[in-house]
Structure 1
Amino acid sequence: MSFFKNIFKENANTSKEEVNETAKFYTLDKMEQFDEIDEISQTKPVVLFKHSTRCSISRMALKQFDAEFNYPEEKIDWYLLDLLNHRDLSNEIASRYNVVHQSPQIVVIRNGKAVFNESHDSISAEDLKQFT
């Protein structure tokens, strides 16, 4: 199965390993995960990637981001949000972290707060070096 077919499996309890052996992300699909993300962000940055499965720009940005993302798990985590299936979680990101909704979009969380966000063709894994 291809990378993109593996991204959005029906199983809501997916971990990194269950999604795809080469995937470097966690699936963001539950409201309760935000407390976990805030806790993790106390010791390392967490990237939230908001992705629209119907948007070719979002698909290209995700593919490029994944290809560029080569940070060790000890330094940074990233979560992938399928915002079409979880618009409530996308709204929570906007509210909780005080960022304007965009798609595709990355939001970097440190100490429970958004410290960086980019959208569309400005998304680059290279920008994350400043947080590692």
Structure 2
Amino acid sequence: MFKKLFGSSEPKEEKILPWQALTDISQLDTIAEKSKSKTQVIFKHSTRCGISSMVMKQFVSDYNLDINIDLHYLDLLSYRNVSDEIGYKFQVMHQSPQLIIIKNGVVVSHTSHGAINEVDLERYA
């Protein structure tokens, strides 16, 4: 009866995104340089925030693995200095969660909270 009402009780296979951990300020220069030939995306995530976790889960679920971008993940609680430097370097006000899209060395789009999952990343690829 349980299966009939709620679908299969089999665990869903977890989708693994091609995250590149963002842990050092020096990586920001590399991201800016790489953005000249390939779109770079930074996802700033607060591991203690329920809203951030909900947005992250939806982002992972909706993410198209075939898109041609580099995807960077920042745990902003562990690497607050990197988060601060992103604001200075790319001229964006800090928010969490936050999605920042970089092309040709500059931010072409950024958004936060629920609006993250409304962004059409393929448009920027």
TM-score tier, shorter chain, comes to 0.7 to 0.9
Say if 2:95 and 2:112, in contact at 8 Å, map to a contact too.
yes
Find the partner of 1:26 among 1, 20, 31. 20
Percent sequence identity over matched residues? 42
SS, match of residue 101 in structure 2: strand
Give the structure 2 partner of residue 93 of structure 1: 86
Aligned partners of 1:53, 1:83: CA distance in 2, in Å? 8
How many equivalent pairs are there? Answer: 112
Distance 2:73 2:112 in 1: 14
| Residue of 70, 74, 77 corresponding to 1:81 | 74
Change (3 A) 1:67 1:36: same
1:50 to 26, 44, 54: 44
Once superposed, what is the RMSD of the aligned Cα atoms? 1.8
Matched, 1:123 2:116: yes
Deviation at 1:62, TM superposition (A): 0.8
SS in 2 for 1:22: coil
Task: Answer 1 or 2: higher relative contact order, Cα 8 Å, separation at least 6.
Answer: 2
The structure with more radius of gyration? 2
TM-score by length of 1: 0.78
Q: Secondary structure at the match of 1:65?
A: helix
| CA shift in 2, pair 1:131/1:50, >3 Å | same
1:65-119 CA-partner distances (Å, limit 9, x unpaired): 111111436x201100000011111111111010111000000011111110010
> What are the ranges of 5 or more consecutive residues in structure 1 without an aligned counterpart?
1-19
TM norm structure 2? 0.83
Which 4+ stretches in 1 moved above 6 angstroms? Answer: none
CA distance in 1, matches of 2:94, 2:106: 15
Give 2:104's aligned amino acid.
N
User: Compared with structure 1, are the counterparts of its residues 63 and 21 closer, same or farther at alpha carbon in structure 2 (3 Å cutoff)?
Assistant: closer
How far off its partner does 1:22 sit? 2.4
